Amino acid sequence: MQSSTIEISNLTRKYGNFTAVDNLTLSIDKGEIFGLLGPNGAGKSTTILMMMGLTEPTSGSVRVCGLNPVRQPIEVKKRVGYLPEDVGFYDDLTGPENLIYTARLNGISEREAEERAHRLLQRVGLGEEIEKKAGKYSRGMRQRLGLADVLIKNPEVIILDEPTLGIDPSGIRDFLGLIVSLSREEGITVLFSSHHLHQVQQVCDRVGIFVKGRLLAQGDIASLARQLFADSEDEGDRVYGLEDIYYRYFEGGNKNENNSYSA
């Protein structure tokens, strides 16, 4: 029986009259890669901030690794690695120096920090760049360094917020493959927040369709397709993908004969 690493119940966050997250209920199992799919402004980042204890909910509750982020934010941060879309480093330090700095902030000894830093740089494909200053890194290299920075404290959960922004296609493929291998080999729970359909479909075990602060549906792609297209005439012949699901929810449309969508 799987245990849930993330439990969200009736979570709501309001800013004045604006509701950024509206009555969200979600459970994510240990070792699962869960995709939070929705357009920019849907409330994905606000949800992440509440999970990290960086923003308090208006109502509802969050438990991460059994902890309450509102009351135990420091304990949550020790167990959760967060990779935002724009990673910040000390540009005048090398990759290993940045990682060692983070490790020491998390109470890891100097010797162990050095060992972990060099091992992780190899793991994320930066083993040949250990002498290079972070300020000289490309966007893709910075994201790889960001992933190593997240992993230096051996987290139980990794939260990725639009992590492939600005990376070239080859770099995206390698980065996503690395995420999958980490989850599968080390049992790390991953929350992958993105508006990129194909990336979510590539790596995620389950997907949550998130729009205007509300979770409209969740499940694996096959089950979501069955729910949405059960009444379709060609339901028995056609295999539906995440793109079909996306447009049904976000655009209210169906694919026409010219392979385009209409509302």
Q: What pLDDT is stored for residue 254 in this prediction? A: 43
User: 193 with 160: CB under 8 angstroms?
Assistant: yes
Q: What pLDDT is stored for residue 249 in this prediction? A: 67
Distance CA(242)–CA(252), nearest Å, equals: 14
Q: What pLDDT is stored for residue 90 in this prediction? A: 93
Q: What pLDDT is stored for residue 233 in this prediction? A: 53
Q: What pLDDT is stored for residue 243 in this prediction? A: 75
Q: Sign of the C-alpha dihedral, residues 219, 70, 109, 130? A: positive
4-219: CATH class: alpha beta
What CA–CA distances, in Å, run from 210 to 24, 57, 198, 220, 240? 10, 18, 16, 14, 19
- Per DSSP, the three-state class of 70 is coil
pLDDT digits (tens, 9 = 90+) for 2-52: 578 999 999 999 999 999 999 999 999 999 999 998 888 899 999 999 999
Q: What pLDDT is stored for residue 178 in this prediction? A: 87
Residues facing residue 157 across a β-bridge: 80, 189
Q: Spell out a b/e string for 153-175, using b for 16 or more CB atoms within 10 Å of the CB, else e.
A: bebbbbbbbbbbeebeeebbeeb
Q: What are the strands of the beta sheet with 157-161, ordered from one edge? A: 80-83, 157-161, 189-194, 33-37, 206-211, 214-219
pLDDT averaged over 10-residue windows placed end to end, the chain, 263 residues: 83 96 96 92 93 96 96 93 87 96 92 94 90 92 92 93 84 88 91 88 91 90 73 58 72 41 26
Domain boundaries, the chain: 4-219, 220-263
- Helices (DSSP H) in the chain: which residue ranges? 44-51, 73-79, 95-105, 110-123, 139-151, 169-186, 197-203, 221-229, 242-250
Of 108, 52, 104, give the one whose Cα is nearest residue 81.
Answer: 52
Query: DSSP for 173-193?
Result: HHHHHHHHHHHHHH--EEEEE
Provide the 10 A C-beta neighbour count for residue 43: 22
Residue type (1 letter), 247: Y
Q: What pLDDT is stored for residue 84 in this prediction? A: 86
Distance CA(45)–CA(100), nearest Å, equals: 28
